[in-house]
Structure 1
C-alpha cells in the first residue's frame, strides 16, 4: 500500500479542518456496477470519462474545511496515482492510502489510526458521484460544533421536489422520512468510541441475537414500529452508545443519490445530463 504523499506542503492548513476518509473498497463477491463496466471496483467506473473516485476526491479537495484525504482501498486496486485524473483532483491537499479491512468499521478505524494527529474526520464513499464542495461545507458547518458522530440526511420532501418519482430507501420516524447521504463527521475521541461500537455490531452480524442486544430490544421495537420522533430516536441511540449521535439535515437532494445499483448509475447520468448537478463552485446549473 502506498505511503503518504504530500502535494504542495506550503499550502495553508485549516487548524480546525477535517481529514476525509473515502471508502473505495468493495463488499465480498462481484459488484454488478463494476462488472457491467469491466472493472473489479465500482470506484473506477467512469461517468463522462471521469472515475467516480476522482469525482469524489475533486469535490472534497474544493472544500476549504478538508486538509487531508485518505483513500481506503484493497491492494489490487493498484496505485491510486494511476487512476485517471486523481492526482490532479487532490489539488493542494495531502493524501495517503489505507488498507481496506474485512468490515467497514474496521476500515474506518484503521484509516483513523493512520492519522494520529487528526481529531476530526469526514467519512464518505467513492460511489457518491454527485458530491459537491457545497454539500461538504454545509454538512461540516453544522457538524463542527458537535462532538461525537454527525450523520447527514435528506428529507423525502426535498428529494421528491427535485426528482419526482425517484426511488430511494427511507428511514421512517414518527415525524419524518429521511434518506442517508453517505456523509459522517467524527469529532473527537467520543466519535472514535462509537465507531468501535459499530465494529462490535459488525463482528456479530452472523449472530443476530447478540447484535440486537447491543441496541436493546425496546429500542429496536420502537424503531421498527416508528414510535420515535427523529430527535427522540437519535437521543436514545446516543444514550446506548454513550456518544452523541446527531442527524444533520441537508437541503441538497443530490446528496442522497449514490450508486449502489446499475439503475442508480443511470439516474446519476440523467441528473448530470439534465443540468441538475453543479460540479464546481463557478459553474451554474
Structure 2
C-alpha cells in the first residue's frame, strides 16, 4: 500500500540561512535556482511507494513557488506537532504516514522507496532512521552534522519518520515536550530520567537497543531505530555552510 507523506514547510527563514537568502520561508531558500523544497517534492513523486503528498506551510507562501502532480496544502500552525496534526485531518486515520522535512534536498525517490522497505522488515509503530558518521563523511567529506556516540558507533539522526497513525494521540504530549526540551539539558533529564541521562553523559555506553527500549517505554509504543546506508536522509540545510555544500553537490 502506498505511504502518504506529510512535508513540513512551516519554518520562517529567521535563522542562520537568513544571512545568505532573503526567502521568507526556509523551504523556499534556493539551491541553483530551485526552491529547496522542490527537490524533496521531486524525490517524493519519483518514489513508487508514495501516495498522497500533503505540504504544511503558511497559507499562500510556498504553494505559488512549487509544482507537482496532485500536491495538497494545509496551513501551518507553528509547532511541529500541531503541523503534523493539521495534515492528519485530511489523511486517512488508518494508514501509516511518512513525515519529511523540507530541507533534505539530497534525498531521491529510490532512497525513499528503499527506506520504507527497510523499515517494513520489522514491526513497529514509529521508525527513526540514523546514519553512521563514517558513512556520511565518506560520501560527503565536508558535511557538518551533530553526532551522538553509542556503543555501536557514532550516529546522526535522520529527517524522515514512518509513523503508525494509531499512536498519534497517545504520543503527542510527550513528543511535544521532547521537542520543546531538546535545548534544555535540565528539562531533558526530567523527561528521560536522571539515571538514563547520567549513564549516557558520563559513561557513553548506551547501546542502540537500550536507546530504542527507552524511547519505546517513554512513549508507550514499539519504536524502531533504523540504521540506514543513505547519508542523504541525515543531511539537512540549516546554515550557510550546508547550503554551500548542497549547491556544489546539486550543481
| 1:147 pairs with one of 124, 143, 149 | 124
Q: CA deviation at 1:208?
A: 6.8
Q: Distance in 1 between matches of 2:42 and 2:225?
A: 25
Which one has more relative contact order, counting CA pairs under 8 Å at least 6 apart?
Answer: 2
1:217 aligns to what? 194
**1:17 is the counterpart of 2:2:** yes
**Structure 1: where are the runs of 5+ without partners?**
1-15, 274-285
Q: CA deviation at 1:76?
A: 5.5
| 2:233 pairs with one of 235, 255, 261 | 255
Greater than 6 Å deviation, 4+ residue runs: 204-208
CA distance change for structure 1 residues 196 and 263 in 2, over 3 Å: closer, same or farther? same
Q: CA deviation at 1:47?
A: 1.4
Secondary structure at 1:22 match in 2:
strand
Count of paired positions = 249
CA distance change for structure 1 residues 217 and 192 in 2, over 3 Å: closer, same or farther? same
Q: CA RMSD in A?
A: 2.4
Q: Distance in 1 between matches of 2:88 and 2:237?
A: 25
1:187 aligns to what? 164
Q: Distance in 1 between matches of 2:146 and 2:181?
A: 24
1:72 aligns to what? 56
2:134 aligns to what? 157
Q: CA deviation at 1:108?
A: 1.3
**TM-score, with length taken from structure 1:** 0.79
| 1:229 pairs with one of 191, 204, 207 | 207
Q: CA deviation at 1:242?
A: 0.7
1:57 aligns to what? 41
**TM-score, with length taken from structure 2:** 0.88
Secondary structure at 1:75 match in 2:
coil
1:110 aligns to what? 86
Secondary structure at 2:134 match in 1:
helix
Q: Distance in 1 between matches of 2:215 and 2:111?
A: 25
CA distance change for structure 1 residues 23 and 43 in 2, over 3 Å: closer, same or farther? same
